[in-house]
Structure 1
Amino acid sequence: MTTTEDVYADLLGHPETVAFEPTRQAGLARLDDFASRTSAHYTASRNYDLGPTERSTVSALSPWIRHRLITEEEVLAHTLARHSPNAAMKFIQEVFWRGYFKGWMQQHPSVWTGYQSGLRTAQNGLERNVHHNTDYQSAIGGRTGITCFDHWCHELKETGYLHNHARMWFASIWIFTLRLPWELGAHFFLTHLIDGDPASNTLSWRWVGGLHTKGKTYLARPSNIAKYTRGTFEPIGQLAQTAEPLIENDIHPFVPFVPSQSPIQKDFLFLITEEDCQPETFISGTPKDVVGLVSPREADQSAKSATFKKGAVADAVLRLGGQENATVTNDWTSTVITAAEQAGTSQVLTAFAPVGPSATKLANLQNVLAQEGITLHQQQRPYDTITWPHATKGFFKLKKMIPSILSDLGVSDAQTF
């Protein structure tokens, strides 16, 4: 009997399936392949999810952009070299959504801690309620009986990727039809997505549930699913027909964004993390050595996600002339201390890590290194320092500033809009 897992194993070898190789070279090749379709084709087809063997409707660049093997600025420049700003505006806006989410959560950091707290509460609830846990296990096992949802569940686990529209449908069904805590669903995505980003993932789930834009929810409808899968799925009678907004008691205060810039010209140890695997494009100076650090695969990280992260960091380290293999360890502290001693420096430089697991690790590392007389510096990309200050409310505020931001980045002249 052929199982869904067997089907996806076959699909991974299909010639039209996007190969998510964790190297800059592969990311550039995908960017070049998609660049010609970033105008009218993308605008008309981007909402269609035609499955893993047909990704021409979207860029599928997110795994490389997430770890900055290729950067948002690079994608924008490549696009505008082929199309006018107006022709490619829908794609350009989608690129800026990532910056919006990062900037917004950076300025509302309690959203991340609140999500983590809610996740722990939800996980503890599974241990106390056997029926609730059964529903959850059916959901993450793709055994709900809702064909489209189960299909996307297996696709996510087998490929590490989902079309953005499918992510929205999946989250809506999870929250409003299956009635499961949104934090568990967000965690399931972060576990398996090779492009899983703490800000984009957390805020997208909150948006679907009515928490990000208060009271505004996203309801998955059979007719919409049928239209944008071209009839592959039409879950009539299987989905919730209403979507009452989720509520929370927490008030997430606004924390003004302050750029983090600690330039060093020489004699520093370069630290590469999964947050930025192309730091050489904005950090000057010649490092005495380069060290890559990634966390080993744990219970909350799938093999595909862990492999892509490790490969991305290793690719960056090799390009910069560092060690042959990125160090895979939870003990970032002793690794960095030893590397700094061997390099004969007390200065460590890394790309800025926005709110999320990497930022927490670096904050802890910074405190311990300080006790050893070692200073950890973080430097931020101009793209972030220019974009994030506009991510204080809804996306529309940032959207209005896109021409100005592109001009400030030197990517496009604001007068061309």
Structure 2
Amino acid sequence: MTLREDLFADLPDHPETVAFEPTRQAGLARLERFASRTGRHYASQRNYDLGPARRSTVSALSPWIRHRLITEEEVLRQTLAGNSPSAAMKFIQEVFWRGYFKGWMQQHPSVWVSYQHGLHAARNKLAQSVHKNADYQSAIEGRTGIACFDHWCLELKTTGYLHNHARMWFASIWIFTLRLPWELGADFFLRHLIDGDPASNTLSWRWVGGLHTKGKTYLARPSNIAEYTQGAFDPVGQLAQSAPPLSEDQEHPFVPLTFEPPPTQGEALLLVTEEDCHPSFACETPNDVLGLVLPRAPGSAEQPHAFKQGAVEDAVTQFGAQGRALTTQDWTAAVIKAAEQAGTTQILTAFAPLGPIATKLESLQRDLATAGMTLHQCLRPYDALLWPHATKGFFKLKKMIPTVLTELGVADAKTL
């Protein structure tokens, strides 16, 4: 079975594939190419999923932004260099959604813990039920008989990427038509998406299922799919006709943000992780640079791991020959050795939001303290500015976008 590019061969759109090369240079090149389309073009075309050979409707910048090979601030600055804020507002809002999800989950940390518990429980149920496991295997292998869903499954596994609209349709079909646990779907995405982000992915799946915005769900409709794939798919009679919201017993309390300011001077080892591959803001002239990548987890696809590894390696090269990147499970030994060679007991790294890297850094921090070393996580100024506004729904943050753009210095208050 191969990816059915021929489905989109006759569409009236210029071919435009995107090669997701894990380098800052490639990300900047894609940003330069798409910047002129972040205005009216994006606003009118962004919902059309025309397949992997027709990516001109969207920026496809998410893999580079996710790992901050390029930053949100750079994207906003270049967007507003060629468009008025009003013309580019749809695109600007999409950039801010990423920061909203990160900030919201950081201030509701029990959501991530609850997802982990739910995923564990869902896997246990699969192991106990032949029928449930068969349904799950049919879904992740693209054998449901729903052509659009099966195609997106294959596209994801082949390319490591899906159009955002397809992600919404996919999640809705998974939850309401196939009636599979949302946690398993979120996990499937994280294992295959090269732009997979714990906050954006978890909260997007919760939003589709009616857990993030209580009672508000997203129903994939055949007519919508037919319209925005320009007739490539039309699953009439195959999809659920209603989307009753999921429920949960647990509440997720708000936890205020607290960050310790990093040291302003002194020698340091700079640690680069997949969470921020442009970390010069944390330490412009480190004694040495070390990049660390976790080994590929069992069941995870090769593409996301290869992109993470390449991104960290590229980040390290930005500091010259002194830097190096390692793929290892034992971060403690690697950091202690690098710090000793660099002649410092102080390690700086970009702040890691909730997720596997944050968990790894927490463990690393405890181990380093025992060894007489200190790990400081430096919060990027963009996040420090944005996250305090991500306490409730996106609308609250949306109202603050003009203020944030002005404070970032990427837009003149007079034009907003």
| TM-score, normalised relative to structure 1 | 0.96
Q: Does 1:155 align with 2:148?
A: no
Residues 260 and 380 in structure 1, CA contact (< 8 A), matched pair in contact too: no
Q: Which residue of 1 aligns with 2:355?
A: 356
| SS of 1:378 mapped into structure 2 | strand
Q: Which residue of 2 aligns with 1:239?
A: 239
Q: Give CA deviations for 1:141-172 in whole Å, capped at 9, x if unaligned.
A: 00000000000000000000000000000000
Q: Does 1:100 align with 2:100?
A: yes
Q: How many angstroms does 1:343 deviate by? A: 1.0
Residues 172 and 218 in structure 2, CA contact (< 8 A), matched pair in contact too: yes
Q: Which residue of 2 aligns with 1:176?
A: 176
CA distance in 1, matches of 2:138, 2:150: 9
Q: How many angstroms does 1:36 deviate by? A: 0.4
Letter in 2 for 1:274: E
| SS of 1:81 mapped into structure 2 | helix
Q: Which residue of 1 aligns with 2:385?
A: 386
Structure 1 residues 185 and 284, CA, compared in 2 at 3 Å: closer, same or farther?
Answer: same
Residues 49 and 166 in structure 2, CA contact (< 8 A), matched pair in contact too: yes
Q: Give CA deviations for 1:111-133 in whole Å, capped at 9, x if unaligned.
A: 00000000000001100000000
Letter in 2 for 1:203: L
Q: How many angstroms does 1:322 deviate by? A: 4.9
Q: How many angstroms does 1:324 deviate by? A: 6.4
Q: Which residue of 2 aligns with 1:221?
A: 221
CA distance in 2, matches of 1:322, 1:363: 29
Q: Which residue of 2 aligns with 1:4?
A: 2
CA distance in 2, matches of 1:270, 1:51: 40
CA distance in 2, matches of 1:65, 1:288: 27
Q: How many angstroms does 1:300 deviate by? A: 4.0
Q: Which residue of 2 aligns with 1:333?
A: 332
CA distance in 1, matches of 2:258, 2:273: 21
| SS of 2:332 mapped into structure 1 | helix
Q: How many angstroms does 1:7 deviate by? A: 6.0
Q: Which residue of 2 aligns with 1:61?
A: 61
Q: Which residue of 1 aligns with 2:400?
A: 401
Q: Does 1:205 align with 2:205?
A: yes
Q: Does 1:50 align with 2:54?
A: no
Letter in 2 for 1:234: D
Q: Which residue of 1 aligns with 2:249?
A: 249
| SS of 1:117 mapped into structure 2 | helix
CA distance in 2, matches of 1:284, 1:355: 22
CA distance in 2, matches of 1:146, 1:322: 51
Of stretches 266-275 and 62-71 in structure 1, the one that deviates more from structure 2 is 266-275
Superposition map of 1:89-168 within 5 A: 89-168=89-168
CA distance in 2, matches of 1:390, 1:302: 35
CA distance in 2, matches of 1:322, 1:100: 36
Q: Which residue of 2 aligns with 1:262?
A: 262
Residues 291 and 322 in structure 1, CA contact (< 8 A), matched pair in contact too: no
Letter in 1 for 2:48: Y
| SS of 1:4 mapped into structure 2 | coil
Of stretches 66-75 and 290-299 in structure 1, the one that deviates more from structure 2 is 290-299
Q: Give CA deviations for 1:22-56 in whole Å, capped at 9, x if unaligned.
A: 00000000000000000000000000000000111
Q: Which residue of 1 aligns with 2:342?
A: 343
Q: Which residue of 2 aligns with 1:293?
A: 292
The gaps in structure 2 that reach 5 residues or longer are none
Q: How many angstroms does 1:323 deviate by? A: 5.3
Q: Which residue of 2 aligns with 1:318?
A: 317
CA distance in 1, matches of 2:204, 2:232: 25
Following superposition, which runs of at least 4 residues in structure 1 exceed 3 angstroms of deviation?
5-8, 322-325
CA distance in 2, matches of 1:224, 1:263: 52
CA distance in 2, matches of 1:130, 1:267: 58
Q: Which residue of 2 aligns with 1:279?
A: 279
Q: Give CA deviations for 1:332-366 in whole Å, capped at 9, x if unaligned.
A: 01000111111111000000001111110000100
CA distance in 1, matches of 2:256, 2:72: 23
Q: Which residue of 2 aligns with 1:366?
A: 365
| SS of 1:176 mapped into structure 2 | helix
| SS of 1:64 mapped into structure 2 | helix
Structure 1 residues 333 and 261, CA, compared in 2 at 3 Å: closer, same or farther?
Answer: same
CA distance in 2, matches of 1:161, 1:292: 25
Give the % identical residues: 72
CA distance in 2, matches of 1:146, 1:372: 56
Of stretches 359-368 and 297-306 in structure 1, the one that deviates more from structure 2 is 297-306
CA distance in 2, matches of 1:129, 1:238: 25
Q: How many angstroms does 1:105 deviate by? A: 0.1
Residues 290 and 324 in structure 2, CA contact (< 8 A), matched pair in contact too: no
Residues 48 and 57 in structure 2, CA contact (< 8 A), matched pair in contact too: yes
Q: How many angstroms does 1:259 deviate by? A: 3.6
CA distance in 2, matches of 1:263, 1:409: 23
Of stretches 298-307 and 14-23 in structure 1, the one that deviates more from structure 2 is 14-23
Q: Which residue of 2 aligns with 1:230?
A: 230
Q: Which residue of 1 aligns with 2:375?
A: 376
Number of aligned residue pairs: 410
Q: Give CA deviations for 1:301-328 in whole Å, capped at 9, x if unaligned.
A: 2100000000000000011125565100
Q: How many angstroms does 1:296 deviate by? A: 1.1
Q: Which residue of 1 aligns with 2:35?
A: 35
Q: How many angstroms does 1:277 deviate by? A: 0.2
Q: How many angstroms does 1:15 deviate by? A: 7.2
Q: Give CA deviations for 1:192-239 in whole Å, capped at 9, x if unaligned.
A: 000000000000000000000000000000000000000000000000
Q: Give CA deviations for 1:236-256 in whole Å, capped at 9, x if unaligned.
A: 000000111000001111001
CA distance in 2, matches of 1:19, 1:184: 28
Q: How many angstroms does 1:297 deviate by? A: 1.1
Residues 264 and 285 in structure 1, CA contact (< 8 A), matched pair in contact too: no
